[in-house]
Structure 1
Amino acid sequence: MTQPSDPALAFPFLGGRPCLDFVATLGKRHAVPLERLPGPDALARWITEAGLAAEEGPVPVTARDLTEGRALREAVHRVVRSAMAGQEPDAADVRLVNEMASRPDLAPQLGPRRWTARHPARAALATVARDAVLLVGGPLLERVKECGNPGCSLLFLDDSQARRRRWCSMERCGNLAKVAGYRSRNRAAPRGEGTFGPRAEREQAKGCTSYASGAGDSCAWWDAVGSRWSSRRCDRPPRRRSPTSSRCASAPSRPR
């Protein structure tokens, strides 16, 4: 199946439930919405990638299926949001989800074909609607969260053991948040108190290798943000080698 040329249109499957993954086909809800279902072909691709295809090859999707799919997606999003906030969902949204869930859904099969259905696209949407009904009306609703990245609107089911998951994924948003926090702390730190400032020298330095040869040699530093050793050119004045140590006489000790 043809993949989108724009990486932003790739479907994220991070929700942990089919209905939440379907809601994610509209991205960036807090900013300029990103429509990942611009046409029937995109909906067919999502059904296949979600593992809801009832037949091999492209799933036949009509313009009507696309319209109903988008309407179901937004109704599920509003119903889940209302339930997360402890509020009564809109009656029209409930009727739409219930009506779609009452249609014939995908029938499981033994053998190479996982599902069967007379109308594959409509059955896939009915399966999504039923999943939403089970999620909202079941005990797992309290574990549904929104990604902690302000620029991300993905909903996910927190299946971590400690129930402390914050991001839709560490690779997608968690690392971006860490980098942004690191840069913000560095900008706020007084001059000389950043990654290679005096505080870093006291707390992170492994030891300066600049001996009597003078400044310009390399120093090894423990980068607490990156959790790795890194190096830079030494800007300290020349130092005497300690007669009892192989390290610089005035170099700080390695943190313990």
Structure 2
Amino acid sequence: MTAHSRVLTSLDGQRYHFEPGNFCLELLVTGGPGPGEAYEILHAPDDLAAWLVDSRLAEVAPVRIEDLEITAEALAYTRRFRDTMWSVGTAIAHGQAPEKSHLQVINEAVGPLPRPRIDLETGKRAWAPPITGAQIVGAAAREAIDIIDSPRLRQCASDNCYLLFLDTSRPGNRRWCSMERCGNRHKVRQHRSRKGVVSS
């Protein structure tokens, strides 16, 4: 999938662009355990459906609400996978071994994928309906396996930011979730620190 940034809003109201690097990591911005609880948006099946319309899946073909089949059970399954991926991704980003039980959750989630097709009316790419919750998690799980041992799976270097991303930059030196937010704050702190040293 092509680069696809999302506009996120921090708890203090700041809006910024975040490029997670793949669909699996994009799913993590919907909430999660611990610090992610404050950002939880998946409260009902319709919430996941609305979020998917603007997800990386839409980079392949348009995602239409009427083509999504998200049940309450599928929502719970998606949230369980997402929360597990938070633990796995954080461990990997810090050079630690994920728990085997968490890796098993990912293995068990690998299943059917959303099926692309050619729309007979428009002649363009589309998704074959219905797109189910199991297909959504299946797509995310396959990407999770692709990055499970990647040295480019990172966590934002800010002390109070937990976002995970795949560093797809050519030099491989991305440190921040977003230069608009954490990267800029780091620059401001560095600038103030240098001024303090000079004035002393």
State TM-score, norm by structure 1.
0.60
Which of 112, 117, 134 lines up with 1:104 in the alignment? 112
Task: Return closer, same or farther for 1:8/1:188 CA change in 2, 3 Å cut-off.
Answer: same
- Equivalence for 1:136: 148
Q: Provide the residue aligned with 2:3 in structure 1.
A: none
In 2, Cα distance between equivalents of 1:56 and 1:31: 27
Matched, 1:174 2:186: no
The percent identity for this pair of structures is 33
Counterparts of 1:1-256 in structure 2, within 5 Å, are: 7-8=9-10, 13-26=18-31, 33-52=38-57, 56-58=64-66, 59-101=68-110, 103-110=111-118, 111-136=123-148, 141-187=150-196, 189-190=198-199
CA displacement 1:180-232 (0-9 Å, x = unmatched): 332344455536xxxxxxxxxxxxxxxxxxxxxxxxxxxxxxxxxxxxxxxxx
Is the 8 Å Cα contact of residues 32 and 86 (structure 2) preserved in structure 1? no
Higher-Rg member (1/2): 1
Structure 2 alignment gaps of length 5 or more = 1-7
Q: Distance in 2 between matches of 1:37 and 1:11?
A: 20
Describe the shift of the 1:7–1:163 C-alpha distance in structure 2 as closer, same or farther (beyond 3 A).
Answer: closer
- The C-alpha deviation readout for 1:14-54, integer Å capped at 9, x for no partner, is 11111111123227955874223233232112222114368
Q: 1:99 to 1:71 in 2, by over 3 A?
A: same
Would you say the 8 A contact 1:104–1:123 is kept in 2?
yes
- Structure 1 window deviating more from structure 2 (127-136 vs 46-55): it is 46-55
Give the residue type in structure 2 aligned to 1:152: C
- AA paired with 2:23? P
Residue 77 of structure 1 aligns to a residue whose secondary structure is helix
Q: 1:12 to 1:42 in 2, by over 3 A?
A: farther
Structure 1 residues 158 and 7, CA gap change in structure 2 (3 angstroms)? closer
2:165 match: secondary structure: strand
Distance 1:30 1:108, change over 3 A: same
Separation in 2, partners of 1:174, 1:128: 27
Contact 1:117-1:123 within 8 A present in 2 as well: no
Distance in structure 2 (CA, Å) of the matches to 1:74 and 1:50: 18
Tell me if structure 2 keeps the 8 A contact 1:27–1:154. no
The one-letter amino acid of 2:159's match is: P
Q: Structure 1 counterpart of 2:46, which letter?
A: D
The count of aligned residue pairs is 182
